[in-house]
Structure 1
């Protein structure tokens, strides 16, 4: 889990990447420069405030399990999706020979 200081560094990097000054955060999220400055300094903030800042920086919050406890992918969790995915993949592979027709590289004998 990242600590508050690491999150603050990520926020600073994203803000700079977007070319936004601290004072401009007021226009983006309605937060005064001093208040936003405290967040970037690593002050503890409410979750609702963090979400507002993330939105203003075109970021989103993602909560995932640590290490090997990761959730299965959506494909693994949706019943029947594995077989459906295999079927689609097979259909795509089957179409590969059709390229010759379109590019005149097949024998037309």
Structure 2
């Protein structure tokens, strides 16, 4: 009985693993819509926001928690030396942190850290 339950459990796990869709840096194109995830620490490590003092000088806020779940559009894609860098802007045409229009993202590292998906 235990063996039968174990085999059933393993088969269900393998079916679920096959159904998951993974985003590859090669399948991302200009105009695609993605979602920002939670920051890796206090700030995003692979989404390249300026330093906090520059954001504050421009009149912005540094509340990175509000960015979680935000929908963004890819505006530019560059591949250099095996690294893919994309530029993103907000889907609702507002500014990031009330001061930044376009932000660059190290795509492979951000996908791995689940900062963007």
TM over 0.5: no
CA radius of gyration, larger in: 1
TM-score (norm 2): 0.21
Bigger fraction of residues in strand:
2
